[in-house]
Amino acid sequence: MIRRGYLMLLTGLMAGLLLAGVLSRAYGSIGGASSIGRPERIDLVFLLTSEKEGWVNAVKPLFEQYFYRKYGVRLNLVLHVTGSHETVNLMLSGSVKPDVWSPASSIWIPYFDKKWRELHGNVSIVGDWYPVALSPLVLVGWSDIIEKYNVRGFSDLYRLARSGVDFRYGHPDPLLSNGGVMALIMEFCEAANKTPDQLTIDDVRDPRVLEIVKTIESKAVYYGKSTGFFGAWAVDAGPQAITFFAVYENVALSYAAKARAKWGVGLKAVYPQLGVLYSDHPVVMIEADWVDDWKRLAARELLLFLLRPDIQQLAQQYGFRPVNPLVPLDESVFNEGNGVLREIKSKALKPPSGEVLEALFEIWTEVKNPGV
């Protein structure tokens, strides 16, 4: 499990310092005097991914009320909700100019930064960023099959395929879903026996690595737009339709008991022994000319608000693990009866570079099952 105490200490310290600096410029004296004036209303544009939509919609009115009570300024949190890859495309095209951005995973930050710099003369708009919730990518399967074949990671799918075991595999399309990207990263990492941050472009193009990934993908029967589809499909169609699928942990949480009730056997999450790649849902400060001091202040206040213990507790009801160490893990949610572990013992993995991520997108058409 990520060392949440250290993470929160660092986050709180840095965010506090950043907030203090912005406050001194934007808010001025206790009376509210400011060189730029105090606005009557702020529209804070928040570009985020769909997994967080339920949680953030619940938080939105609470944060808007909090900000008004504290600053006397009406704030409207304007939500633009889509997939992680699409958030990048929208920013690169200029279709959406967010004041704050939250992809599903920090793996997108170096990729976006690289692409933005290429378009804008090596100038970045990525500011400080901090995770606000955790949801690891897991390999989910039917518990009896997982135990029978001792499946402990993605490399075991290659072992089963090579030994002639019949199974059906699935994950979202990496070009459409962050969950699909993370699944592809983990397949390449286990094939190369390297962590994501150690992965190189040469590894991605290594014929031995490609053979392993192609063999795993040859068992794919569906590439969807989202991870949630696979949990619902498993419950509806049963073990004959889908055997293993790579999804976020909250999918196992949502569907394990339903699968057991219908099919007599539950779904179980496997946390790869190589390590776990987290959707850490970073909140990223955008440093662009359309973000004024008051919006910078509001963006940092949003970050701190999402880290509050009560808001982190609320996140657990949507399947997210808290990053704030003051918030205990809700064991009524995170337990083996729900198909997941309370304590994740596999180490947390760092994301790959933007160059490697771009290479994975390019190689995807070569390794995917062409019949799907």
Residues 92-113: tens digit of each pLDDT:
999 999 999 999 999 999 999 9
pLDDT tens digits for range 269-293: 999 999 999 999 999 999 999 999 9
Which structural domain range is residue 38 located in?
A: 4-134+279-316
Is residue 233, in this structure, part of any structural domain at all?
yes
Average pLDDT over residues 156-183: 95
In 41-194, alpha helices (H)? 53-71, 84-93, 108-119, 143-149, 155-162, 178-192
Q: Say if residue 224 is in the same domain as residue 354.
A: yes
Contacts 24+ apart (CB under 8 A), 358-366: 358/111, 358/114, 359/201, 359/204, 359/205, 360/174, 360/181, 360/184, 360/185, 360/188, 360/204, 361/174, 361/175, 363/204, 363/205, 363/210, 364/174, 364/175, 364/184, 366/210, 366/214
Q: Are residues 172 and 197 in the same domain?
A: yes
Q: Are both 297 and 267 inside the same structural domain? A: no
Task: Look up residue 210 and give its DSSP letter.
Answer: H
Statement to judge: residues 72 and 164 lie in one domain: no
* DSSP β-ladder status, 244-248 and 278-279: unpaired
| Structure confidence by residue, pLDDT tens digits, 113-136 | 999 999 999 999 999 999 999 999
**Looking at the predicted structure, is the pLDDT value of residue 369 above 80?**
yes
Whether 150 and 240 map to the same domain: the answer is yes
33 and 116, same structural domain?
Answer: yes
Q: How far apart are the first and last CA of the chain?
A: 35
pLDDT over threshold 70, residue 265: yes
285: its two tokens: 């400060």
Q: Do residues 116 and 251 share a domain?
A: no
The distance of Cα 138 from the centroid of its chain, to the nearest Å, equals: 12
CB atoms within 10 A of CB 188: 26
What's the pLDDT at 19? 53
Tell me, yes or no, whether 52 and 181 share the same domain: no
| Residue 185 shares a structural domain with residue 103 | no
pLDDT tens readout for residues 311-360: 999 999 988 999 999 999 999 999 999 999 999 999 999 989 989 999 99
Say which residue the tokens 């496997």 belong to.
270
Helix (H) or strand (E) holding 328: none
Give me the CATH number covering residue 353. 3.40.190.10
Whether residue 83 is predicted with pLDDT greater than 50 in this model: the reply is yes
* pLDDT reading at 6 higher than 70: no
Domain count, the chain: 2
Per-residue pLDDT reduced to its tens digit, 202-240: 999 999 999 999 999 999 999 988 888 899 999 999 999
Whether 178 maps to a domain, the answer reads yes
CA distance 270 to 243: 13
330 domain-assigned: no
* Structural contact between residues 225 and 182, judged by C-beta atoms closer than 8 angstroms: no
